[in-house]
Structure 1
Amino acid sequence: MRKLSDVTRGRLVYGGDYNPEQWPEAVWLEDVALMREAGVNLVTVGVFSWGRLEPSPGSFDFGWLDRVLDLLHENEIGVSLATPTASPPPWMSLRHPDTLMVTADGVRMSHGSRNHYCPSSPVYRQYARAIVTAMARRYAEHPALTLWHINNEYCEVCYCDGTAQHFRRWLRERYETLGALNEAWATAFWSQHYGEWAEILPPRAAPYLRNPTQVLDFKRFSSESLLQCLRAEREILHNTTPFVPVTSNFMGLFAPLDYWQAAAEQDFVSHDWYPDLTDPAAHVETAMSYDLMRGLAGRKPWFLMEQSASGSHGVRRPPGHLRTQSLQAIARGSDAVCFFQWRASRAGAEKFHSGMVPHRGPHSRVFREVAALGRDLAELSEVVGEHVPAQVAILMDWDNWWAVSGAHLPAEIDLLARLRDFYEPLWRLGIVVDFVRPRDGLTKYPVVIAPNLYLLTACDADRITSYVDDGGTFVMGFFSGVVDEHDHVRVGGCPALLADLMGLRIDEFLPQRDTLTCTSELLGEFTADFWADELTPSTAEVVAEVACGELAGTPVVLRNGFGDGTAWYVATRPEPAAMGTLLAHIAEQAGVTASPQPEGVEVVRRGDLLFVINHRPEPAKVVVDGARVDLLSGERVSGVTELPRYGVRVLR
């Protein structure tokens, strides 16, 4: 069985994306010497190199790549060998223009950037299989080969005629008959009834709103089309190199590809992450993305494939921050810290993207920090393979994300913002979260939170109901339980299938433009905004309500006992302090221990180690229980310990 431990081999992986084809071979010798100095033990090679590897159709040139892999192996540096299929070479675009992506507006993309291919194109797929097969056969026995990296950041969506044909085939498999499709798509609305499969098109540009179920199904199809490309490459690699693990890099909270399905197609989960360095709370969204990766990995270790060494898009990463974000990834389950890229490019569209070796070269602050981080990681081998315990789960489902992102809803619902409404207070409480799907096992978690479940299937509603009936605590945000898997409204009042569980029914949605003043015995007086519901409690107890104005007396937080458990409904967006107080109360009642820290500080346990991380540019003081040893400094720590700006302690 192929797994991440076949790559880590008992130590943390450290390295980055290496593009030697951009440099004279004389530079390669300096590269490997600097890699050894920095403690690099794995580099990714071959991303976007299709044009060099296959300069004309069927004519392969592997000589330069042979020399690179030989050199890396001689210096005890493993290779994550990438299939170069994310950007086909110019000859394919010239000979086969139908392989080029077409936008929803009917514009065919041209060559000259990257990710310009149509994933449904049979010609693209044929050439992709050929280059992958050739690489797999050539390097199957190469001792440097440690890992296969498939494609790069799958994200392509195409609306061309070839895609339309593929979409129809997918729909025929899904619905079997036009009658079933017409029912699912509610084509009686706006005279959209289909009499032939050939009449169906992707949801291209239109005068007004598109059929929401057609749009939802096209998002499902587009994800599946990318997955078919991934599977095809994976099968070639697994068959040719059966003991070499395969992965493909995700991009955090990213909509076009269902990462739950994509994770199941790989040997382990990898992640590219570039936070907004202008956001002083970027570390919270970073933690959320890392927790999502751990969830996608089945609560097992994952692989940080890319991040920036010195900043991005003109924003400088402050001194020490590289170490902080990297060790935050280790704390939250990564067994690897890698960057894009090893050496900053001299030319090309990303010549001002960061590099572990910047334009200034090794005599730079950035490289000194890179080398220091390598020394830190070498001290943390005992964390490899260890798990991160979590007692709270957040439900995340791509079908729901695609549906709730549709047009013409009562208000524009930003699912990522709704996730952060709940996640950030939990982060500030020191409560670590697992991300799971509604269909996953929930019983191991005392608390399960659904910031939004606009689309909810009957099976998932049954699982949630059983979870609470058996003693679980469930927290649900507004605009949930509204539609079925076809994006059809469930009539009778929301949250429909969960109405008995939540102990209430909603008569009308009341999106808010103004701030609400609310009151609660539990939460005191607080403000809220964005949403309210006109609802009628049946068995639910009102915990907070609007205090004044036209909506005075309207419930905004409710609690309902159900079976042996409890269900909470949050019908608005409370101010952060009130949400923190509410979630702290819910956690305490469910037996989940909170451990709030000073502003900007997080404490995360992984295995037997305690990571204490200061994300602020000012020093912070943290209380440490018992006597511990900091593995990074060798100091003995107990009681109050001071963390410098962007400081990290890893305590045993």
Structure 2
Amino acid sequence: MPSAAPHDRLPLAFGGDYNPEQWPQEVWEEDVRLMREAGVTMVSLGIFAWSRIEPRPGEYDFEWLDHIIGMLDEAGIGVDLATPTVVPPAWFYRAHPEALPVTREGVRLAFGSRGAICHSNPDYRAAAASITSRIGERYGRHPAVAMWHVHNEYGAPVLSCFCDTCADAFRAWLQDRYGTLGALNQAWGTAFWGQLYGDWEEIGVPRATPTVGNPAQQLDFQRFADGQARANFVAERDILHRLSPGVPVTTNFMVAPSQCASIDYWAWADEVDLVTNDHYLITDGRRTHVNLALAADLTRSVAGGGPWLLLEHSPSGVNWQPHNPAKEPGQMARNSLGHVARGSEGALFFQWRQSRSGAEKFHSSMLPHGGTGTRVWREVTDLGRRIADLADLRGTRTRADVAMVWSWDSWWAQGLEWRPSEALDARERLDAFYEALYDRHLTVDFFAPAGLGEVDPSRYPLLVVPQLYSAPASVAADLERYVARGGTLLVSYFSGIVDEHDAVHPGAYPGALRDVLGLTVEEFDPLLPGERIPVRTTSGEVFEADVWSEYVVPGDGCETVAVFAGGRTAGRPALTRRALGDGAAWYLATRLTGDDLAAVVDLTLADAGTVPVDLPRDVELVVREGESGSFRFAINHSSSDVKVVLADGSRAAVPAGAVEVFREPR
């Protein structure tokens, strides 16, 4: 095999997952020829190929992989080479059936899909290390390998396993975390319902119980499951770092909260060399481009504002939703360049050639069943040219206007049973507040609770906390400092309630956020399905609230901006503002939607001195900046031609459904 040092990452990546093992070799030459025609610069290879590479235990077939990597290298196409550890071969499960995961109800899942893995199983871990080592030894210095792709979409479709092996590993994890049983009993609140533990062996995984199980145990088990998968990634990563020095190692995230809820990507970001993300449109009747923008902003934030890469999205429709519409003409480019605008160093798809068999044969691909005479193919080749034209964009960074808080850990905690209302939905609040900011044409950076000390009010004059049920005590000091230094803080209801063990913070609600907001909440008063109450501002505006209300008691210096004008909490504050230092902290004690929520966001933006960009609805204006200048992306999702204002004050046309990129020298 070639021993030359691997080349640098390509300037901007364009391509997709390539699965040549699904096709006879005579198709490969056509594939590579068409990849060059389309402007492909990188493909992800070998993700599901373990059974082809190691058809029998200890027997390896690399000839086919050598051949296709050589073809790609000769064509100037870089390889994102995978470790195929997401799908061990059938022979592995025949020898080690205990490596299949067990559900909470005690059912062992069967082989025949993908991702059927117990991440605590020692035989799986040994086999994964072995195949990774073999692949790394053979291709670690191959010049075509631009990046390493470990596993695939950890957490999808299953992360947690409830088998006895996991129970043993969970107990070891708990001993390391708490040290003593006394500390664990205290953290878990096991005095409730008589669950005190006297021996580590008495603790199991949170399998199905007669009624609601201990929430702190369930929360810790989710953290444990996430950590077990992350440890497996790190083991493979370290092998590749040793065998392939200098080549970045990653795994594909699914950062959009709707797509993979079981992974804490803030923690995973510290372990990858490059953050990559998969994003698929959820076509549920909402504006899909808003969720795309959220996912891209969140991925960039997980990457610390630095370079990241869109590793998968779809050229057109997907195949796994109840209804899978095709993308309209031009939408592929808008979606792809929308990710690039928000920080991605390229755009790749799943997959290159559409499969004839298997579960995803109706999932769109760059090269569809219909071949090169199709609209999708024409749009793919056009997009390839556009990506190539943006080569000098590499290394620039997206400029954000405001900040938001998001925590997977808090989301896990809030999603457990027996909360005050089953209508509480942190992800819905995230979407709602993000959409209000998106419609003001503002770009958002996200922060984890642990990172709030880094939020500079001079850079982010508005900080939104859409719903942070679980908040460590450190959040209070960070938010007080942010506000006192001139920031405007907007907090929504059911935030700051519990600590990291799902224990209610001492004293009145909202716990950790009580002091910065300057108020207390005596009692929650969730609304019944269909129940709505008016909210009236001091200036006479009337909003309609649903889902939630509270008995809010403002403290000294806390101004009431709006009150509940009906229902059981009539006359109580619904929206407050507390001046603190050079800034202000706002609190919204109910659920508003649409224009009503947007009106509240407008109040806080005005308080922060942030002026929304004047553009029509569904038109994005996002800027990437670098040392030599900036790139202004104008993305028109609407059906009307629009004009946007450039940095020099001139106006430029953006046709309906189009994307225009304007280069602006520094």
TM-score under structure 1 normalisation? 0.95
> Which residue does 2:535 correspond to in 1?
518
Residue of structure 1 equivalent to 2:436: 425
- Give the C-alpha shift of residue 627 in structure 1: 6.4
Shift of 1:277: 3.3
Code of the residue aligned with 1:304 in structure 2: it is L
1:300 aligns with 2:306: yes
Counterpart position of 1:160: 163
User: In the alignment, which of 446, 465, 477 is matched to residue 461 of structure 2?
Assistant: 446
2:398 partner SS? coil
Unaligned runs of 5+ in 1: 629-637
One-letter amino acid matched to 1:332: R
In 1, Cα distance between the equivalents of 2:140 and 2:400? 39
From 540, 553, 556, the counterpart of 1:536:
553
Q: Is the 8 A contact 1:523 1:582 kept in 2?
A: no
Which whole-Å CA distance do the structure 1 matches of 2:477 and 2:651 have between them?
47
Question: Which residue identity lines up with residue 57 of structure 2 in the other structure?
Answer: P
1:626 Cα deviation (Å)? 6.3
Structure 1 residues 236-259: Cα deviation after superposition (integer angstroms, max 9, x where no partner): 011111110011101122321110
2:463 is paired with a residue of what secondary structure? Answer: strand
Q: Deviations over 1:327-358 (max 9, x none)?
A: 10111111110000000001111111111001
Query: Distance between the aligned counterparts of 1:626 and 1:227, measured in 2?
Result: 44
Which amino acid is the alignment partner of residue 637 of structure 2? H
Aligned to 1:460: 475
Contact 1:306 1:340 in 2 (8 A): yes
3-state SS in 2 of match to 1:117:
coil
SS at match of 1:233: helix
Cα deviation, residue 523, structure 1: 7.2
Question: Quick one: distance in 1 between partners of 2:73 and 2:50?
Answer: 22
Task: Check the 8 A contact 1:465/1:498 in 2, yes or no.
Answer: no
Distance in 2 between residues matched to 1:414 and 1:167, nearest whole Å = 28
Q: Identify the residue that residue 44 of structure 1 maps to in structure 2.
A: 44
**Match for residue 609 of structure 2 among 583, 591, 594:** 591
- Please list the CA deviations of residues 476-498 of structure 1 after superposition, one character each: whole Å capped at 9, or x if unmatched: 11011111111111232111232
On the 8 A contact 1:448/1:474 being kept in 2, the answer is: yes
Deviations 1:370-414 (A, max 9, x none): 000001111112221111111311111222111111110001322
1:331 equivalent in structure 2: 341
Moved over 6 A (4+): none
Q: Distance in 1 between matches of 2:573 and 2:444?
A: 28
Structure 1 position 223 matched with structure 2 position 234: no
Give yes or no for contact 2:654–2:660 (8 Å, CA) kept in 1.
no
Q: Specify whether residues 626 and 66 from structure 1 end up closer, same or farther in structure 2 by C-alpha distance, changes over 3 A only.
A: closer
Residues 522 and 291 of structure 1, relative CA distance in 2, 3 Å threshold: farther
In structure 1, the residue matched to 2:77 is: 77
Offset of residue 319 of structure 1: 1.4
Aligned to 2:15: 15
After TM superposition, the structure 1 = structure 2 runs for residues 281-320 of structure 1, keeping only pairs within 5 Å, are 281-313=287-319, 314-320=324-330
In the superposition, the TM-score normalised over structure 2's length comes to 0.93
Q: Once the 2 structures are TM-superposed, how far is the Cα of residue 606 of structure 1 from its aligned partner? A: 1.3
| Counterpart selection for 2:246 from 243, 248, 270 | 243
Change (3 A) 1:626 1:97: closer
CA distance in structure 1 between the aligned counterparts of 2:312 and 2:646, rounded to whole angstroms: 35
Conserved? CA contact 1:8–1:335, under 8 Å:
no
**Shift in CA distance, 466/209, structure 1 to aligned 2, threshold 3 Å:** same
Cross-structure match for 1:571: 589
> Are the equivalent residues in 2 in contact too, given 1:6–1:245 (CA < 8 A)?
no
Q: How far did residue 280 of structure 1 move?
A: 4.4
> CA–CA distance in 1 between the matches of 2:246 and 2:416?
43
Contact 2:466 2:492 (C-alpha < 8 Å) held by counterparts:
yes
Q: Secondary structure at the match of 1:58?
A: coil
Q: In the alignment, is residue 392 of structure 1 matched against residue 398 of structure 2?
A: no
2:642 pairs with 1:621: yes
Unaligned runs of 5+ in 2: 1-5
Structure-2 separation of matches of 1:240 and 1:234: 10
Q: AA paired with 2:552?
A: L
1:551 partnered with 2:563: no
Say yes or no: does 1:499 pair with 2:477: no
Following TM superposition, by how much is the alpha carbon of 1:213 offset from its aligned partner in structure 2, in angstroms? 0.2
Distance 2:538 2:477 in 1: 32
Given candidates 235, 253, 262, the residue that maps to 2:268 is 262
1:621/1:529 Cα in 2 relative to 1: closer, same or farther (>3 Å)? Answer: same
Q: Distance in 2 between matches of 1:574 and 1:129?
A: 50
Alignment partner of 1:190 is 2:202: no
- What is the alpha-carbon distance in structure 2 between the residues aligned to residue 235 and residue 326 of structure 1? 32
Q: Pick from 384, 387, 397: which aligns with 1:377?
A: 387
Does the C-alpha gap of structure 1 residues 58 and 626 become closer, same or farther in structure 2, counting only changes over 3 Å?
Answer: closer
Residue identity matched to 2:190: T
| CA distance in 1: counterparts of 2:653 and 2:288, whole angstroms | 24
Structure 2: distance between partners of 1:182 and 1:463: 29
- Check conservation: 1:523, 1:578, Cα contact below 8 A: no
Q: How far apart are residue 640 of structure 1 and its match?
A: 6.0
Residue identity in the other structure for 1:281: R
Cα displacement string for residues 113-155 of structure 1 (whole angstroms, at most 9, x for unaligned residues)? 1100100101100000000001000001211111000100000
| Aligned amino acid, residue 250 of structure 2 | T
Deviation at residue 589 of structure 1 after TM alignment: 2.3
Q: Supply the distance in 1 between the matched residues of 2:55 and 2:87 (Cα, whole angstroms).
A: 13
User: 2 CA distance for matches of 1:415 and 1:601?
Assistant: 26
Aligned mates of 2:153, 2:478 — CA distance in 1: 33
Are 1:609 and 2:643 counterparts?
Answer: no
May I ask how many residue pairs the two structures share in their alignment? 636
Matching residue of 1:641: 653
